Amino acid sequence: MFVVLQGRAGVSGDDAASEPRRHQELTGNVSRLLAQALSADDAETAGLRADDLLARPELCPSLFGGPDAWPSARHAVVQRYGRVGALLVLGYEGRWRASAGSDASPNPAALELLLDHFGELEVDELEGLLARLEGDETRPRRGGDEVTSVRRKLHATYAVAARDGTDAAHHAYMEALERFMGLARRRLAS
């Protein structure tokens, strides 16, 4: 097994200064894509299965990011895998821009790891990638970060449960959901 949570590959100089802006932009794009996909018709009922779309990674950049990208294919992946699915779609879109010679900045290393290893990542590895993509993997944990930690666990377990479909993965998701809801109840009560 590989370790994906070690350091920041290739970040220095001007890249390091622009990194917080890249994290904010990515987070905004993820939120917009989630909102679009969740308000769209269910792509799976139209016959588009996220697993089938992702099974051919060589086609994904044009399928999700090219000029002939399929909005319904993008929605299918996001509807199936949630926030992680939105990151997958945006990562493949970034790969398409890079292959087209666009002047857009390349995908962050953590996003490339997600694209290359989504099928084998464990929940804790996904959580680590989410932290890196949100730009706070090096921030010390404070009491207020409990919400962020619980939210990341929820997103990671949701994606793994959707990907693997096992009882254990589903149980881990339900535990994460219960923890998230318990935290929300405590915050609302205070």
Looking from the CA of 91 toward its CB, the CA atoms found within 13 Å total: 25
User: pLDDT of 147-181, one tens digit each?
Assistant: 999 999 999 999 999 999 999 999 999 999 999 99
Position 19 scores a pLDDT of 63
32 shares a domain with 85: yes
Residues 90 and 24 reside in one and the same domain:
yes
Which amino acid is located at 69 in the chain? Answer: A
Tell me the per-residue pLDDT of 19-68, one tens digit each, with 9 for 90 and over: 667 778 888 999 999 999 999 999 999 899 999 999 999 999 999 998 88
Q: Do 45 and 85 fall within a single domain? A: yes
Residue 90 lies in a domain: yes
Domain holding 165, by residue range, is 121-190
Residue 111, pLDDT > 50, answer: yes
122: pLDDT confidence band, cut at 50, 70 and 90?
Answer: very high
pTM for the whole structure:
0.84
Contacts of 175 (CB under 8 A, 6+ apart): 157
Which of 81, 106, 131 is where one domain is finished?
A: 106
For residue 8, name the pLDDT band (cuts at 50, 70, 90): very low
Section 111-125 average pLDDT: 97
Check if the beta carbon of residue 34 is closer than 8 Å to that of residue 80.
no
Q: What angle do CA 156, 157, 162 make, to 5 degrees?
A: 105
Query: Where among 106, 141, 161 does a domain terminate?
Result: 106
pLDDT of residue 101: 85
- Answer yes or no: are the C-beta atoms of 183 and 146 closer than 8 Å: yes
Does some domain include residue 14? no
- What confidence category does residue 140 fall into, taking pLDDT thresholds of 50, 70 and 90? very low
Residues 125 and 79 in one domain: no
Question: How far, in whole angstroms, is CA 112 from its chain's centroid?
Answer: 11
Residues with Cβ < 8 Å from 132, sequence gap 6 or more? 5, 8, 108, 109, 110
Number of domains in the chain: 2
Strand ranges for 134-180 from DSSP E:
none
